[in-house]
Structure formats: structure tokens, C-alpha cells
A = this chain, B = another copy of it.
């Protein structure tokens, strides 16, 4: 399994959520973040003094998935989050040794399979 860390512009966050639901990853965990990269900050004025805003707001998704799904997810995320403008974000792929579903104790791929309870 893999653990994806997806960083996108906040305005694309709803799209990513929908894309992930459609693919059926079973879920995601979402965090507000700030980022910088090729995209630099910009300068603002406050009470006549100027200052640098050196980061931009981003949304970070943690998604656990089967190895096979990685490609699909990357494609789907790129589709909705790629505006062609600098600062669109990155996808980081890391190895996931194990997952546990707290409620049931299921492990491995079972733990992230969408289940039909309720």
C-alpha cells in the first residue's frame, strides 16, 4: 500500500475530494497548510509599511491506497487541480507498511476498503 500526501490550492480542494470519492479510495484526511516553492510570496502594505507574505495557503490530503490505485489517483488529482499556473502543488508517494481500522481492528487493505456497515 501507499500513503499519498497531496498538496493543492484550497480552491481545488472540493474537486479533489470529489475525485477521490469517485475513484473510491475509501477516504482521506485533510489538513490546512501553507506552502512555498517555485511560487514565491508577494508584498502587501499595512498602515503604510510594506511586508512580505512568504507563503500561500494550501490544502493537504493524506490518502492511503492500494499500490494499484496510485496511478489513477495521480491522474484524477492532476485533472482537477492542474490550473497550469505555478503553485498548483505536488503529490508525494511513500510506502505504507500497515493500516489499522480503529473501529474493527481490520488491517491491511481491508482497513481502507470502503465497508458497507450502516
Contact = CB atoms under 8 A, between A and B. Distances in A.
B112 A90 contact: yes
B27 A38 contact: yes
Interface string A82-118: 1111111111111111111111010000011011011
A84 B47 CA distance: 37
Quickly give the copy total for this chain. 3
A86 B103 contact: yes
B60 A31 contact: yes
A10 interface: no
B37 A30 contact: no
Interface residues of A, number: 59
Nearest to A34: B30
A62 B34 CA distance: 10
A29 interface: yes
A8 B102 CA distance: 8
A55 interface: yes
Contacts of A91: 98-100, 102
Interface of A: 2-3, 5, 7-8, 17, 21, 26-38, 54-55, 58, 60, 62, 64, 74, 77-78, 81-103, 105, 111-112, 114-115, 117-118
